[in-house]
Amino acid sequence: MSNLESQEMELLALQNIYEDNVFKVDKMDPPSGQFIAHVQIPKNFRIYYMTENKSSQVHEALIEESFSVDHLPPFNLFFCFPETYPLQTCPKFLLSCNWLSLQQLTVLCRHLEYLWALNNEVILFTWQQFLQFDALNFLNITDSLNITELLKFKRQNNFGNCETSRNDEENFNNCCAVGFSKSSLKNIKTAIDLPNIDPSLSGGYNMIDAHVFKDLSSEKGRINLLKDYNSKKKEDIFRSESHICSICFITKKGFDFVIFKACKHWFCRECITSYFEIKIEEGNIFSLNCLDGECQSQADILTIQQVVRKDLFEKYDKMLLHHSLETMPDVTFCPRKFCQCPLVIDVHDRMGTCPRCKFVFCPFCNMTYHGVAPCVFKSKEKTTLFDKYMQGNKSDKAELEKKYGKRLLKSLVEDTLSETWKNSNSKSCPHCKASIEKMEGCNKMTCFKCGTFFCWTCGAHLNRANPYEHFNSRTGDCILFEQNDLDNNVNGYEIQPGEFLIGNI
């Protein structure tokens, strides 16, 4: 069989074995293309590296950092068949991998050449199987990978020249989640189209094999790429399988589920949509958390946008913006409910003008502008201002006095303290609402203002002809004297049982 026939049969066989996203023929003159090999690694495979300990005062102190992955980005191999392949020469090829060092890739490249030299036969399937199942063992990598040297790598071309430039950063920013640069996978017709990157017929005699290609330059980029690829791969596997929602207990395909990024808990889209839409309609935009009862992680904005209706997401976005603006000291809102336009005001200015409806108002009490007259507050606003003033430090109080006036705050504090004492130590007459304090004695009270008889315990009106009848009722809970009053021997004499009872016993 001629070389050309062997090449055509090999490519045809591989196209039937693998899907297009694994093996791809770019062109046939000369025959060239690319394939990827997904590496088989043990579960919770550990990746570690040494980095500077910035908190240490020791010069060049290093600490170990690590993270675990279940999936690694695949090998990417570009190939081109010379006329003499497979009987006389090895294929031209270029091997790329973003988690191995140049030295490790060099070892693999030379072993790929060795595998072809064993039989001088078609070799791409053997290479793919070796990279997928045996490459890690060949490099003595078992349950962990040290990428310290890899992070020190400075981008080089196939001729060993340093090319760190602004273009490298742009190329890095174009790196996709599966571990290859977009330029090397999507925007080219063949590997030969890559600038300064040609599949090589020989690895050469340098320390770094000419078949080796690295396409990332950033340390942070490499680590993020490995983590992102692992997350993306796990998500793809999850979406291809069936799962039971822990809320509705219905089995659904993975693509019908939503995964919370912070905690990795997952629930079906229908349950999350119903829950989130109810919360947004109620205005509880900070309650869009994980549906697991013991988890408090919040959903990110992208997840919320994906699961709720467009109009509800717009409402959520407006409410979130409104809350963010409320936290800014120099931003307030027009007090008119139909307007609510945000505006920036001077914290010391006593007048605000809405840019939309032109309403002029006081930014402190949100009422119509009242000049130098003191602000009039509602009951709830008074309580809030009182708490803020009483709990503030010296500078906080000075700022509030400058803002509202010292006389107003003094009056507010006195009135609030007086009202608090009255609520704690007195009760209102059920007829005229006068405040009455009980010092001692029985629970039959007489209003000092209107003379109404009432019960101190429940506040009920008492029969004027027989006020004690209320306390003799067998169905009521009110008693004339509390136990502590009896024990204290009121006014120095003993209360005789039945002294105030009316009628026959």
Which of 370-384, 452-466, 491-505 has the highest mean predicted lDDT (pLDDT)? Answer: 452-466
Separation CA 61–CA 50 (nearest Å): 10
Residue 195 is predicted with a pLDDT of 38
Decide if pLDDT at 497 tops 70. no
Decide if pLDDT at 158 tops 50. no
Which of 57-61, 102-106, 207-211 has the highest mean predicted lDDT (pLDDT)? Answer: 102-106
User: For all residues of the chain together, what is the average pLDDT?
Assistant: 79
Residue 170 is predicted with a pLDDT of 39
| Both tokens assigned to 256 | 């019908």
Residue 64 is predicted with a pLDDT of 86
Determine if the pTM surpasses 0.75: no
Cβ atoms 258, 272 nearer than 8 A: yes
| β partners of residue 352 | 361
Tell me how crowded residue 52 is: count the other CB atoms within 10 A of its CB: 11
Helix, strand, coil tally for the chain in percent (to 5)? 35, 15, 45
Separation CA 283–CA 124 (nearest Å): 60
Return all residues near 85 (Cβ < 8 A) that are at least 6 apart.
Answer: 3, 7, 91
Share of the chain above pLDDT 90, in %: 29
Active site residue ranges: 442
pLDDT one-digit tens code per residue, 387-438: 888 888 888 888 777 777 676 778 788 888 887 888 788 888 988 888 888 8
Higher-confidence residue of 56 and 447: namely 447
pLDDT one-digit tens code per residue, 190-238: 333 443 445 555 555 455 555 565 555 455 677 888 899 998 998 889 9
Average pLDDT over residues 446-462: 88
Residue 346 is predicted with a pLDDT of 75
| Both tokens assigned to 249 | 């207990």
Residue 503 is predicted with a pLDDT of 43
Average pLDDT over residues 253-260: 90
Decide if pLDDT at 125 tops 90. yes
Separation CA 242–CA 262 (nearest Å): 22
Which of 275-284, 316-325, 328-337 has the highest mean predicted lDDT (pLDDT)? Answer: 275-284
> For residue 162, what pLDDT band results from cuts at 50, 70 and 90?
very low
Separation CA 352–CA 102 (nearest Å): 66
